[in-house]
Amino acid sequence: MENISVKSITVRLRTDKPVRKTPYQVKGVFMKQFPNEPIIPFLDGSLRDKYFYPRVQVKIINEQIYIVGIKEGIEAIMNLVNNLQSFNFGNITINIEKFDLEENDNQFKSTDYLLRYKFITPWAALNRKMFSHYKSLSEKEKMVLLKKLIGQNLLFLSKELGPENCSKIYTNINIDNIKPDKIEDNGWGIFTGGFKANFILPNYIGLGNGITRGYGTLFSLNNSLSSISSEFSDDESDYIEEKINEDDDSLNISTADDVIIFNKRKDNKKRYKYKKKKRYNKSRFNKNINNPKNNNKEHDDDSKFNSDKYHQKQHDF
């Protein structure tokens, strides 16, 4: 069987001023300044019926712009950044001095080891319906639920993006507080912390609700030698992994038969979807991360892959 490698890229734009804008504002500038660029359909919702998980994600982290591209989104991002010299926000113009690029392959696949990830922006795990259900659970049941949600998200990514269907996904979580903060305007419950899983993920992609708002941005603790992301790794080890122990009751085990992820199209027909790093600049990032709570009143463009209806189905078990 041919080994299909799933690729991703992360671009960090080096600007002459700090970027104190939201991802929506940055994407708006992209669409206004470059209306004919191939990246625009990935940003304006034109491809949501085709790709349920966003292939292009714009993040603002530590007042810097990150653009993440997965599979079909990679070429569109490179076309844009090669032509990008400045952003005109109306009240301020920000110049692009250069960009740092990280490329990854062999992503979105299972492994025999548990890998560690942390959320560098809060994880919006619970939609409004799930938040109400969560409050009624015991502490043990809450932990089981959160592990299950991570596992379902990863199973969905495997089926949408991965080169193979995962037979089992193992997850464990480490959250800072089992009581979530609540986003009042939409009723989401958010957590800080991290998780372990036997699944390979690229840095800076999002999990959970509100991906395009900046929620759920994750960072891998598995390789501290990454050129554009080394500042976020911790000091425990250069490579952090644990061999899976199937007898460990603390792990959630999901099989393809246990969880079915599906998306609902506008015509109400259900569509079922199963499913080396190259170093550039050795730059270091500041550890201060923007808090995306400030962005939660923006227009929600997650109508397909992060809507309440979608997550009610995704989290229904």
> Is 300 or 71 the better-scoring residue by pLDDT?
71
The pLDDT value given to residue 28: 92
pLDDT in tens, 178-225: 999 999 889 999 999 999 999 999 999 999 999 988 899 999 998 644
The pLDDT value given to residue 1: 41
Q: Is the pLDDT of residue 313 over 90?
A: no
- pLDDT-derived band at 277 (thresholds 50, 70, 90) equals very low
Q: Is the pLDDT of residue 247 over 60?
A: yes
Q: Is the pLDDT of residue 146 over 80?
A: yes
Q: What is the CATH number of domain 8-104?
A: 3.30.70
Question: Could you state, in order of their start, the residue ranges of all structural domains in the chain?
Answer: 8-104, 110-314
User: Using CA atoms, how far apart are residues 217 and 291, in angstroms rounded to an integer?
Assistant: 11
Lowest model confidence (mean pLDDT) among 44-58, 79-93, 170-184, 289-303 = 289-303
Report field, pTM of the whole predicted structure over 0.85: no
The pLDDT value given to residue 310: 41
User: Using CA atoms, how far apart are residues 314 and 306, in angstroms rounded to an integer?
Assistant: 10
Lowest model confidence (mean pLDDT) among 71-75, 150-154, 292-296 = 292-296
Q: Is the pLDDT of residue 272 over 60?
A: no
Mean pLDDT of 280-294: 41
Lowest model confidence (mean pLDDT) among 129-133, 250-254, 294-298 = 294-298
pLDDT in tens, 8-22: 999 999 999 999 999
pLDDT in tens, 34-79: 999 999 999 998 998 899 999 999 999 999 999 999 999 999 999 9
- pLDDT-derived band at 127 (thresholds 50, 70, 90) equals very high
